[in-house]
Structure 1
Amino acid sequence: MPELAAGGAGDDGESGEEASGGGRRRRPLRTSLIVLAAIAVAAAAGIAATGSLGGDSGGSSNAAPSGPPATAKVQRTTLTDSETVDGNLGFGDASTVQAPAAASGDTGAGQSGQSGQSGQNGQSGQGGASGAGTSTGTITWLPEAGKVIRRGDPVYRVDQQQVPLLYGSFPLYRTLADGTKGADVKMLEKNLRALGYTGFTVDDTYTSDTAAAVKQWQDDLNRTETGTVKPGDALVADGARRVADIKTSTGAALSGNLLTWTGTSRIVSVDLDVQFEDLVQKGTKATVKLPDNSTVEAEVTDIGTPTTAQGSSGDSGSSGSSGDNNSSNSNNNQVTLPVELTVKDQKGLGRYQAAAVNVTLKAESHKDVLVVPVNALVAKRGGGYAVEVVTADGTKLVPVKLGMFADSKVEVSGTGIKEGSVVGVPK
């Protein structure tokens, strides 16, 4: 029996890694598939070497040729390199809205600072001030969890005065009055214009016309008509927000954490094993399978920094760990890459607010290529691969070059390989 190659490239065959091209680092899975193919067809290659498959005959001239135990046709299709991983559907990370710090003149001590991390779906979590101290007043209204708050809507009420949401990229940090200039003035005026107030020019200068519009706005909010805007008079975020949880109650003093909120669009989060990181980049397409087996299309929009999560220690014993226990716990650490995917078809997600999902990442596609089942490959003596082509006279081994592996299929090319050809599939 001739020597069989388990996966190396010969003179007329390439490994799947070489044919994939693009300089992408291939995962161990690709090598495993090649080795698996070689093992699965080793018996068939041995039969071919004896001449019973119609190739180079070394047996008796009166030996009747025999066909392969199963066959498949060479197909022309689009082959996509993919991997299915676990994911979670939700609204992304929640950020905390805090009560504004007590004002201290016009120094901006009561500024509305950023509260918590930005949500994973790109919505910033700017809320109340993060500085020390508290404002005076009593909370008289709070939204319910799940409520969506848009520009101009109240986030909460203090002494029955509304504290509305404005859109912008940074919080209010100083008192704005006639004569004030800056980007925060322009941000306020853009919001006033979007809310329907007129009579002023949208620019970076706070004028008496701006003050007049502010008084109208304050009257509609049931606030004292001062014509000035102080830190804490409004909260700023870069878009609509969805209330995740309430941290205080009506009747309580305005202090501490008030609520948490997220973006309004449902996203998919994946803690991706780092061995698959070559599968993702911004713009990578994916298919999300929901618990009811329906699917929606998604796209990778954010890739974080690899993190190490401590694995479950199981029966950890006493807290006074020995050196061996520490070593065991270290082995439980798993490095993952946080990946966020956006789903444009929000209706396609149905009524699911939070759910475990399966995410099939589609990293690379080869269009209009010829493919055969992986186990149709026959390892050639001296390296490389062939397929057993069924002809009118029997069968013959035809050398092939390998391309992408995906979905238990492999891209093949070579002289004598064409769409519709019938190839043997050893069992």
Structure 2
Amino acid sequence: MTGSRRGGRPLVWAAAVLAGCGGVAAAVLVTGAGPEPEAPRPAPPGPARATVERTTLTERKTVRGTLGYAGRAEVTAAAPGRLTWRPRAGRVVRQGQRLYQVDGRDVLLLYGEQPAYRRLKAGDEGRDVRQFEKALAALGYTGFTVDDDYTAATAAAVRRWQEDRGLKETGEVDPATVWYAPGPVRVDARKAALGQTLAPGAPVLTLTSPRRVVTVPISIGDHRLVRVGGAVTVTLPGGKTVRGTVASIGSEVKKREGTGACPRTPSTSPWTSRPPAPRCGSTARRWRSRWSAPAGGTCWWCRCRRSSRCPAAATGSPCSVPAARRATSR
């Protein structure tokens, strides 16, 4: 009994194992004929990745401009006399060179901001003395100290300068013999004829700087695209391109034809129907009078949106309709 029990257990266990194996085999065979098991779900996608590149956004615009020269100044005669020499238009004159000639006496160009207004001689003091001494030293004449005092040493240097220029050696500086400019100048036009008798203050020459500039009109909407010092590319008439910078931005505003200031008053006719609304400029809007004209007509005119951009006189006034005939309804 005991042995059979012990011998029966292995049989039972073996049957169990075979059944298990048969079950597994059956399961495997049935799998081919039955429905397919669900496919494994793909893993969820990871976060999208992209390379971030830092760049500068730019906006370009091409406009037409006028090629010219910077600055403009007029040279006038400082003393009466006959014009005996003048430079040709387009010539560039530098410090120490002859600008024009009156009665055979040269008027020389010197660098400085303050115009010559008095005769300089030993004992004089002032900013104009320092300006002249600085210009004289730049021409190579030394032996004095550049300061506000016109000393005997300055007078000695002036005599050497006058001798080299073929002038009378006085040691003094006649204001009619020098003309000050901030730097080299270009002769833009001749204003006096050769041999003409000049009176003090008579125009002789028109000067500009030799520096080339391009003047470009821009609209208010494009004002944000330019700034002083900003880089620009200029295409010259021959097709050559050069680089430049914005030197200045003007504040002058020019109105276009047909968009002038708002009318001060509307028509004074007592309309019998609504009149046509006026065309207001960009700085104004149409505004209807609180008074109504007879027969339901309405008075219109332009009213400034901002008083700083439109003349105060453009605010208009009610229609010229007899007060007794005005209505109070809007």
Alignment TM class, shorter chain as reference:
0.5 to 0.7
Q: Within 2, Cα distance between the matches of 1:206 and 1:77?
A: 60
Q: Within 1, Cα distance between the matches of 2:158 and 2:126?
A: 17
Structure 2 match to 1:82: 60
Measured after TM superposition, the shift of residue 82 of structure 1 is: 2.1
- Show the 5 A alignment for 1:180-219: 180-219=124-163
Measured after TM superposition, the shift of residue 276 of structure 1 is: 0.9
Q: Which has the higher contact order (CA 8 A, sep 6+)?
A: 1
Question: Is 1:95 the equivalent of 2:39?
Answer: no
Measured after TM superposition, the shift of residue 213 of structure 1 is: 1.1
Q: Secondary structure at the match of 2:176?
A: coil
Amino acid at match of 1:187: Q
Cα pair distance change 1:180/1:86, threshold 3 Å: same
Q: Secondary structure at the match of 1:301?
A: coil
Q: Within 1, Cα distance between the matches of 2:165 and 2:81?
A: 16
CA offsets per residue over residues 113-162 of structure 1, 9 Å max, x none? xxxxxxxxxxxxxxxxxxxxxx2221110000000000001110111111
Structure 2 match to 1:269: 215
Question: Are 2:70 and 2:210, in contact at CA under 8 Å, matched by a contact in 1?
Answer: no
Question: Are 1:92 and 1:269, in contact at CA under 8 Å, matched by a contact in 2?
Answer: no
- Show the 5 A alignment for 1:157-176: 157-176=101-120
Aligned length: 214
Out of 175, 179, 184, which is 2:123 matched to? 179
Q: Within 1, Cα distance between the matches of 2:131 and 2:258?
A: 48
> Percent identity among equivalent residues?
43
Measured after TM superposition, the shift of residue 223 of structure 1 is: 2.2
Structure 2 match to 1:304: 250
Cα pair distance change 1:300/1:199, threshold 3 Å: same
Cα pair distance change 1:262/1:230, threshold 3 Å: same
Bigger Rg, structure 1 or 2: 2
Q: Secondary structure at the match of 1:308?
A: coil
Unaligned runs of 5+ in 2: 1-51, 260-266, 268-277, 284-330
Q: TM-score, normalised by structure 2?
A: 0.59
Amino acid at match of 1:220: D
Structure 2 match to 1:279: 225
Question: Are 1:312 and 1:332, in contact at CA under 8 Å, matched by a contact in 2?
Answer: no
Q: Secondary structure at the match of 2:63?
A: strand
Amino acid at match of 1:233: T
Measured after TM superposition, the shift of residue 264 of structure 1 is: 0.7
Measured after TM superposition, the shift of residue 309 of structure 1 is: 5.0
Question: Is 1:294 the equivalent of 2:294?
Answer: no
Unaligned runs of 5+ in 1: 1-73, 101-134, 314-322, 334-427
Measured after TM superposition, the shift of residue 164 of structure 1 is: 0.4
Measured after TM superposition, the shift of residue 290 of structure 1 is: 2.1
Measured after TM superposition, the shift of residue 289 of structure 1 is: 1.8
Cα pair distance change 1:247/1:310, threshold 3 Å: farther
Q: TM-score, normalised by structure 1?
A: 0.46
Q: CA RMSD in A?
A: 2.7
Q: Secondary structure at the match of 2:80?
A: coil
Out of 259, 269, 274, which is 2:205 matched to? 259
Cα pair distance change 1:75/1:163, threshold 3 Å: same
Structure 2 match to 1:229: 173
Cα pair distance change 1:214/1:310, threshold 3 Å: farther
Q: Within 1, Cα distance between the matches of 2:188 and 2:146?
A: 34
Question: Are 2:92 and 2:210, in contact at CA under 8 Å, matched by a contact in 1?
Answer: yes
Amino acid at match of 2:222: F
- Show the 5 A alignment for 1:295-334: 295-308=241-254, 311=257
Measured after TM superposition, the shift of residue 215 of structure 1 is: 1.5
